[in-house]
Amino acid sequence: MSTSSGPYHLVVIGGGAAGLFAAVNTARLQPEWKILVVEKTGKLLSKVKVSGGGRCNVTHACFDKREFPLYYPRGASFVKRYIHQFFTTDTIDWFQQRGVHLKKESDGRMFPDTDNSQTI
């Protein structure tokens, strides 16, 4: 990702978890691209830092694609469409490849093993 001036190959609007995920993965696939992430608050990942009581609930430790949407009742139909492309195991692997190890709580929620959202 570039901090230099444009033109850019990709401009990501929103510096939250999804925006940064898109930017990081695009940069990996297209290393020559200039990418700009624009966040209206000026603070990237600000909601991530406070999520899960400051620990950042990353995903749910469910490895059954039929059962997984049940943990996201407000977004079940959305989740059903995409879990075949990027599922729990993919999420865990993605973080591990970047040196972030996740742990499972007794209720199935997964957090960084540091219990600190700053790790994310």
DSSP state letters, 57-108? --EE----TTTGGGG-GGGHHHHHHHTTTS-HHHHHHHHHHTT--EEE-TTS
* pLDDT over 90 at 2, yes or no: no
> Of the ranges 14-23, 42-51, 103-112, which one carries the lowest mean pLDDT score?
42-51
Q: Residue 66's CB: how many other CB atoms inside 10 A?
A: 9
- pLDDT tens digits for range 47-67: 888 888 899 999 999 999 999
Whole-number Å distance between alpha carbons of 50 and 27: 26
pTM value? Answer: 0.79
Query: In the predicted model, what is the mean pLDDT of the chain?
Result: 92
Check residue 4 and give its pLDDT.
65
Closest-CA residue to 61 (of 88, 39, 80, 38): 88
